[in-house]
Structure 1
Amino acid sequence: MSISLRVNLRYNGTYRPAAIGYVNSAKQVSEVVKIGHESDLGYNVVARSGGHSYIAGGLGGKNGSIVIDLYSLAILDYEVAPAIAHMGTGFKLGTIAGSLDDWGRALPHGTCAYVGWGGHISYGGYGFTTRNWGLTLDTMISAQIVLANGTIATASQDQNPDLFFAIRGAAPSFGIVTQTTVQTLPKLSSATVYQYGWNLNVAAATSALDVYQQYSLTATIPKELGIEVVLAPGDTRGTVSFMVLGAWYGAANTFNATIKPLLDKLPKPLWTTFDVGDYRNSLKNLAGGSIDTFEPNGHDTFYANCKSLITPKNAPLTAQAERAFITYLTNQGFDTDLGWFLQIGLIGDKNSAVAAVPAGETAFPHRNALFIWQLYGYTQGNKPPFPSSGFTFIGGIADSVVKSMAAGWDYGAYTNYIDDRLQDGQQLYYKQNLPRLKELKKKYDPTRVFDFPTAIKP
C-alpha cells in the first residue's frame, strides 16, 4: 500500500506525512494519537479509511501530519436478534454491502464500492436509499472513538451524548472512530435501476429542470424511489445532455406509475435503460458492475465541488436561476478543456427519512434540504495537472445559481463532497450547528490534535 495513496491525482505529490501508522486495534490507535498529543513538535493526527477523500484528506491536507491507516480495522460482527452490526472503520462500502446482503440485511449508503466506511458514515452517507432509510450516519447507535489525549471512549445517546452529536457529521474533527454499531434494515426484495436520456437546448433543459424540481416539491413520491438528474455536455454547443436516473426499490410492476407524473411533462426520451433484479444486482449495477474491492481503486484528476449546493426546500431555485444555470452549461461548458458532469439528487421531499430527524440532533444539519448537488470536472485522460481555468469553470457553475438567487439564500454544502477552496466552508457545511461544534471542539480537542484544512476550529 503506497503511503501517497490518493484517489484524486490533482494532489499527486502535494502532501508528505511525517509518519503513517498501520494499526489493528483501538489500543494501537490510542498509542499513535498520544504521540501527536504529547509531542513538542505539534503533530496533527488524521485517519485514513478508504483513501477516497476528494482533497486527499487521508494524508492530512498538509505536510507533516501523522496518518493512522485504518485498513486493518475491518472486523464485522452481526447480531441477529437486534439486527445490529458492529463494524470497524477500515471497511469499504462494497465489502459491507455484500456481507450484509448475505445476511439479508442492508444499510443506506452511496454507490461507489471503494469509498471507506469511516469517512462515509462520519460525514453523512447519501445514496438512492436515503429517502427511504435516511443517511448512513442516521443508522449509528454508538461508536468507539479515540480522543485527542488517547482516551478510548464510547459515544451514544447514553454515553457522551454531546460527542455522539458531533461525530454524526463531523467525526474527524473530534477523534479517530475505530468501530461503529449500526441498526441494519431488511434488504429489499426488488430493485429496478433506470435511466432516461435527452439532448436538450436551453429552453427545453430549463423547462425540464423546473419540471424535476416541481415534481420533487409537490408530488407525493413513494419513499422507495431514488432519483437524480445528471447533466453533461450536449451533442453541440447550446445543448446539454439531460438524464433522469436512479433506482426504484418497490415492486417492478409499479415503477411506471411512480415515474409517470414526471415523464408526462418531459419530452419523449431519446434513450432508456432498465435493469430489473434483486437488491444485490442493483448494488453491482450502481457501482459500475461489481461491489468487489479486491483490485486497487482507480484514480482521476478532478475538481469535485458542491460549492456547495444543497438546495433548501423552502427556497427552491427561481426561474431566473434555472435559466442562468442551464445557459452557463450550454455555453461555457463548451469552452473548457475539462470533461464534466453534474448530479442533482433528491434527498429531502415530503416522504424523505432525512427530514424526519431534527436539524439539531446530528452535526449534519441539512434536514430541510431538497437537492444535493455534485459538480465534477476532470482532465481529459484523467492526467494531471488540473488547469487553473478548471477551478474558474466549476466555480462559475455554482455562481450561476447562487448569484441568481436572492441575497442571503440559505444554501449549504456536503462534507463528503469536500472542497478545500471554499472560503465559507465551515458555515456551509454545518450551518446552525457550527457554534455548538466549536464549543465541543474546545472541550474534546482544545490543542487541535485533529486539525486539517476543513476541520472544526475551536
Structure 2
Amino acid sequence: MNQEAIAQLKSQLRGELIEPSDERYEEARKVYNAMISRKPRLIAYCTDVADVMAAIRFASQHDLLVSVRGGGHNAGGLGVCDDGIVVDLSQIKYVHVDPAARTVRVGGGCTWADVDHGTHAFGLAVPSGIISTTGVGGLTLGGGMGHLTRQYGLTIDNLLAADVVLADGTFVTADADQNSDLFWAIRGGGGNFGVVTSFLFQAHPVSTVCAGPMLWELDHAADIMKWYREFIVQAPEEINGFFAFITVPPAPPFPEALHFKKMCAIVWCYNGGLEQANEILEPLRSFRSPSFEFFAPMPFPMLQGMFDGLYTPGLQWYWKADFVNELSDEAIALHVKHGSDLPTLHSTMHLYPINGAAHKPGRNDTPWSHRNAVWSEVIVGVDPDPANKDRITSWAKAYWEALHPYGTGGAYVNFMMDGEGEDRIRATYQDNFDKLVKLKERYDPTNFFRVNQNIPAHANSMASADQTLSHIG
C-alpha cells in the first residue's frame, strides 16, 4: 500500500481519510476506554453507504485489518485496531421516526442520545442502554439491555431490519423476509457479519417515566439484595431496577454529607404514573427506608443521560461480566465483601435484570441464548488516572473470580474485554455457536471482520483469531 493507493481511496470518499501524519490523528484514534491505545494505518470517516463500501473494498484489496467504530464505547476498544483501517460511521447520523407505525430508522453512526431525542418528540422510545453517548450499532449488535428491558425486551428484540455492507463490499438488506439468516445472526452475533449502516427499530410508548436512584448504607446491602432478588422476578414488567455498589459522586442531586461515601443502590425506571410507582415500591421503603432517594417523574431522555456526566470519554476501564440465574446467600455475601471495597470513585458493580419481556423469545430465536438468565452482572474498574490501571484491574478480576462460579459461564458480549478466548465465546452463545460459525462461513469466509468477539469462519481457528488483536495499554 503506497501513497498513490491512499490518494485513490481519498478520491472515492466523501468523508475524510486520516493518516498518522495528520494533525487530527492522535485525537481520531481514541476510543471511549482510554486503557486502549492502538495505532491504525488509516481512519476513514464515512459519510454514507458508498464510503463504507469503498473503504471495505480497499481494505480487502490491500489485506488490511478492519475495525468498525460507531460510538467507540466497546469495552475492549474493538472500534480501533493496530496497523489497519478504522471504518468510522459517526458521520452517518440520522433519525427518521414514523409515528403512525411506531418505527424509527437510524443511521449507523448515531448514539442513543440521537435516537432518544428524535423519538421523545412523539412519545416513543426504543429499548437501549443506560448511557446515552453509547453508539447504536455496537449496543444493538451485541444484544442491548437497559431501563426498558423488562417491559419491551432487548434492543435486538425490537430490530425490524438492517442495511449491511458485507466483507466483499456488497450491500444487502436483512430482515425477516430478505437474508433472514443474516438477520438472525446480527441480532446478538456482534460485528462478525458486516458493517450495519442503518437500523429499523420498533418503538414503544414511553414519554415521562418515574425514575432515579435509591441509596442505602452498606450495612444494609445484603438485606437489600435479598429483597431485590425476590422482587425483580415477579414485579410488573413496567418497572425495571438495577442493583449497584457505588461511591456517591460529589455532585447534585446527592447531598454533600454523602459525597464520596460507599453505598449500595437501586436505579429504578417505571413507565407509568408516580402513584402506581410508589405503590409498587412501598414495600421496599417499609422494609428498609433509603438513606437517600431521587425518585421522580422525568422525561425518558433525562434518565438516559443521567450518568453521562460521570462516565465521560477518556477514563480507564477494565470490565468483567457474567450472566446470572440465581443470587444465592453465598453469592450475596461475596458481592458485599468485594462491592464494599470499590477502589475508585467511578468503579462499580451493576446487576441488570434481563427477565420479563426479555424471556419471551426462545433461546434459539436469536444468538442471545441466555434467555433464562435473570441478571447480567458487570464489574468495572474505572478511573481517569492511568497510574491506577493495575489497581482497578486487579480489583475487577478478584471480584469476578469470586463470583464467577455462581454465574452461567457466559457473559454479555458488550461487557467482555478483548481476547477472553474460545471458551467464553462458546459459553456465551451455547448451542447457537455452531450456527453462527456456519453463517460466518457463508457471509465472511475469510474472517475479514475479526476485530470483535470473534465467531471464526471455522470453529478450530478461534485461537488464531484471538491473536489478531493487539494488547491493551
| Fold in common (TM above 0.5) | yes
- Which of 225, 241, 249 aligns to 1:227? It is 241
Structure 2 Cα separation of the partners of residues 242 and 283 of structure 1: 20
2:91 is paired with a residue whose SS is: coil
**1:320 is aligned to 2:330:** yes
Identity of aligned residues (%): 24
Q: Which range moves more in the overlay, 423-432 or 141-150? A: 423-432
Counterpart residue number, 1:16: 39
- Deviation, structure 1 residue 99: 1.0
**1:43 is aligned to 2:64:** yes
**1:87 is aligned to 2:110:** no
1:10 is paired with a residue whose SS is: coil
Q: Which runs of 5+ in 2 are unaligned?
A: 1-23, 249-256, 458-473
Q: Output the amino acid matched with 2:51.
A: Q
The normalised TM-score by structure 1 is 0.85
Give CA deviations for 1:191-223 in whole Å, capped at 9, x if unaligned.
Answer: 11132211133xx43232122112223x3x111
Question: CA 1:410/1:268 → structure 2, altered by over 3 Å: closer, same or farther?
Answer: same
CA contact (8 A) 1:91 1:116 kept: yes
- Which of 411, 418, 421 aligns to 1:420? It is 418
Q: Which runs of 5+ in 1 are unaligned?
A: 290-295
Give CA deviations for 1:278-325 in whole Å, capped at 9, x if unaligned.
Answer: 434444546559xxxxxx96321121221xx2112xxx1322222233
- Which of 141, 163, 170 aligns to 1:144? It is 163
- Deviation, structure 1 residue 82: 2.2
Q: Output the amino acid matched with 2:324.
A: T
- Deviation, structure 1 residue 443: 1.2
Structure 1 Cα separation of the partners of residues 345 and 292 of structure 2: 25
**1:298 is aligned to 2:313:** yes
Q: Which range moves more in the overlay, 422-431 or 279-288? A: 279-288
Superposition misfits of 4+ residues, deviation over 6 angstroms: none
Question: CA 1:232/1:113 → structure 2, altered by over 3 Å: closer, same or farther?
Answer: closer
Counterpart residue number, 2:300: 279
Counterpart residue number, 1:193: 211
2:215 is paired with a residue whose SS is: strand
Counterpart residue number, 1:293: none
1:427 is paired with a residue whose SS is: helix
Counterpart residue number, 2:289: 268
- Which of 157, 174, 177 aligns to 1:155? It is 174
Structure 1 Cα separation of the partners of residues 143 and 40 of structure 2: 26
- Which of 114, 117, 124 aligns to 2:133? It is 114
Counterpart residue number, 1:216: 232
The normalised TM-score by structure 2 is 0.83
- Which of 274, 277, 285 aligns to 1:252? It is 274
- Deviation, structure 1 residue 58: 0.9
- Equivalent pairs, count: 421
Structure 2 Cα separation of the partners of residues 127 and 453 of structure 1: 22
2:182 is paired with a residue whose SS is: helix
1:304 is paired with a residue whose SS is: strand
Counterpart residue number, 1:340: 347
Structure 1 Cα separation of the partners of residues 283 and 429 of structure 2: 35
Counterpart residue number, 1:357: 361
CA contact (8 A) 1:44 1:448 kept: no
Q: Output the amino acid matched with 1:414.
A: Y
1:323 is paired with a residue whose SS is: helix
Question: CA 1:285/1:16 → structure 2, altered by over 3 Å: closer, same or farther?
Answer: closer
- Deviation, structure 1 residue 272: 1.9
- Deviation, structure 1 residue 142: 0.9
- Across the aligned residues of Structure 1 and Structure 2, the Cα RMSD in angstroms comes to 2.5
Counterpart residue number, 1:242: 264
**1:311 is aligned to 2:324:** yes
Structure 2 Cα separation of the partners of residues 81 and 277 of structure 1: 24
Question: CA 1:390/1:415 → structure 2, altered by over 3 Å: closer, same or farther?
Answer: same
Question: CA 1:240/1:78 → structure 2, altered by over 3 Å: closer, same or farther?
Answer: closer
Counterpart residue number, 1:378: 382
- Deviation, structure 1 residue 338: 7.5
- Deviation, structure 1 residue 422: 2.6
